[in-house]
Amino acid sequence: MSKGIRVKSYENVDGHHRRSWRRRREVTGFLCFVVGIFLFMILISFHAGDPSIGEYFSSNMAVENYGGIVGARLAGLLVNLLGGAAALLPVFSLFGAIRFWSRPGGGVLILVVSSLGLLVAIDAFFHLRFPGDPVFRSGFESGGIVGSLLGRFVLTLFGRPGSYLLVLAAGFLSFMGVTGLSFRSLGLGFLRLASYFRQVARAIREKRKKKKAREPRPQASPLSAASGGP
């Protein structure tokens, strides 16, 4: 009898923990969603003339940023640190909210580490590829401070071709960690996409053949037939 009571009590406690865990994940997902929307607002309204971190600000100064002085300073800091890759922060935050809401288990640490790895890889790629910021046109270095430091480091060790290979490989692996995809799923997706394009091309060719078959053939005029011409 007591054993049955202990089992029942254990089941109740386990259910309580599951509900508490689910509630924490829902709240965390909601916070990620709000942060993602706020980051999107301040980054889409980023203006290089707004006061940034360490700059003087008075109430008479006009601020273009949708997030006010806080948004202007935060956007300036993010763009200075990450360059154009800062535009991905709202995407990662919203994706994190979806992961918290849709998945009952863990995987949060992998998502955070993979997102940071993808940001750093994109920063380094921007530094290697673009002379200036291609997204915000802010006047800061392409890839920001992080991309500049990492890009110069890998260039010193691996040269430009090796740096491209290393950065793209790191970005690809980080992308897999963010999305939860595997090499097998990516390969199958590529094969499905290739098969779809082959079917589309085949359908276009068949449609052209049918259209060409329905077109009336040009007939020879009576004058040319009488003269024996073609």
Which range in 114-118, 138-142, 181-185 is most confidently predicted, on average pLDDT? 114-118
How buried is residue 19: exposed, middle or buried, by Cβ count under 10 Å (0-12/13-18/19+)?
A: exposed
Give residue-wise pLDDT tens across range 145-199: 898 899 899 999 999 999 999 999 999 888 888 777 777 777 777 788 888 888 8
pLDDT at 135: 81
Cβ atoms of 78 and 89 closer than 8 Å: yes
**Which residue is listed with tokens 């790191």?**
170
76 within 8 A of 52, measured Cβ to Cβ? yes
Q: What is the pLDDT of residue 197?
A: 86
**Whether pLDDT at 143 is above 80:** yes
Total residue count of the chain as it appears in this document: 230
Entry pTM: 0.65
Whether the CB-CB separation of 142 and 83 falls below 8 Å is answered with yes
Which of the pair, 222 or 71, is modelled with greater confidence? 71
Numbers of helices and strands, H then E, in the chain: 7, 0
Instruction: State the alpha helices, DSSP H only, in 130-182.
Output: 144-179
Return the pLDDT at 220.
54
